[in-house]
Amino acid sequence: MVEDPTTAPTEPSARLRTNATGWGFDAPRLRRMLANEADMSFKRRAEAVYDFLRIGPDDRVLDMGCGRGFYLKFTRDLYPMADVVGVELDRPLLHTARAQVPGARVVNGNVYTLPFADGAFTRILFSEVIEHIPDDRAALAELARVLAPGGRLAITTPNADYPFAWDPINKVLEATIGRPIRRGVLSGIWANHERLYTPEDLAAKVAEAGLIVEEVRFFTRFAFPFIHNLVYGLGKELLVAGRLPASMAAAADRFDTSSDAGGWRNPIRWGLAAFNAVDRLNDVLPPRADEPFLIIGLCARKPDGAAQR
């Protein structure tokens, strides 16, 4: 069983967070960079990912499944001295990442056969990707291969027992006909996913790959109703297709990390305010292992037989 972490929940901090090695993690800066983010769970898991990885100036970081390049941008901005590489299989997303994060090294590659030497990376970011992969065991084995001894791997993925409000449509379908919607605007949390995980299942598969599970965290117990459908099924599709008015598109732009774009007359800002208001309940009543929650966050380390940093 995975230990229930609710006795020591991860709490927001207004100060520079320093991990055991002394490396600084500027959580307030990351929150400012995420001011336009409509997916409240993304905000929480992004902070956890960097807390897990403990990136230092000499680290070689792999963003596996970098998509449009959000984590690439955040990582390069937060840790300009680190060596960061993105890998993406989907070529259209690859081109977007290169365009949105100029100068970033982005490689077209398959997680089963990565074009890197053994132990090439000291840190691997694997966020919201594993649930899309048909053979997750093979993927984890390959990531373990390119992870250096003593290196750290951060994984986030949806929890099989997710909150009803996050995706009511699929929650009802799972309980009635046992078959969720996996494609289209109503696909919700199951969009293009092979499976959802329990914390125990994810930890077991990571351990099978020869990695040591160091920590598991749970995120998002409360969510704005239908938020997945609103943010991804509707909002993201309109934004990517260029169908939002310029002012609304600016307020919803994840890549604009300089400020919270858009004034308070902007409908996007109203939506963000409502989403944030509900999300703050997660600070008052943090997720519990015995109740539905949205995201599993897992930190693993590759053993090396020596003192770990």
Spell out, as residue ranges, where the chain has pLDDT lower than 70: 1-25, 236, 238-240, 244, 247, 249, 251-252, 257-264, 305-309
β-pair type (295-301, 147-158): antiparallel
Q: How far apart are CA 20 and CA 223, in angstroms?
A: 32
Q: Which residues pair with 84 in a beta bridge?
A: 61
- Closest listed residue to residue 203, CA positions, set 49, 2, 3: 2
In a domain, 181, yes or no: yes
- Looking at the structure of the chain, the number of domains it has is 1
Domain annotation covers residue 98: yes
Whole-number pLDDT of residue 33: 85
pLDDT digits (tens, 9 = 90+) for 163-212: 999 999 999 999 999 999 998 888 889 999 999 999 999 999 999 999 99
Per the structure, the complete domain to which residue 140 belongs is given by 25-301
**Helices in the chain by DSSP H: which ranges?**
27-33, 40-53, 70-78, 91-100, 136-146, 168-176, 199-208, 227-228, 237-240, 246-251, 267-279, 281-284
What percentage of residues in the chain have a pLDDT greater than 90? 61
pTM above 0.85, yes or no: yes
Domain annotation covers residue 226: yes
Residue at 10 is within a domain: no
Please give the Cα distance from 204 to 220 (Å, whole number). Answer: 22
Per the domain annotation, does 4 fall within a domain? no
172 in any annotated domain: yes
Task: Specify if 120 maps to a domain.
Answer: yes
**CATH number, residue 237:** 3.40.50.150
Beta bridge partners of 152: 123, 301
Q: Considering the domain boundaries, does residue 8 fall inside one?
A: no
Q: What is the DSSP letter of 229?
A: I
Contact 45, 156 (CB under 8 A): yes
Task: Give residue 10's pLDDT.
Answer: 32
pLDDT (0 to 100) of residue 265 = 75
Q: What is the largest CA-CA distance in the chain?
A: 58
pLDDT tens across 6-36, in order? Answer: 333 333 322 334 444 445 567 888 888 888 8
3-class secondary-structure state, position 51:
helix
For residue 209, what are its two tokens? Answer: 């790959």
Q: The tokens 């750290």 sit on which residue?
A: 152
Q: Which residues of 32-48 are buried (b: 16+ CB within 10 A; e: fewer)?
A: ebbebbbbbbbbbbbbb
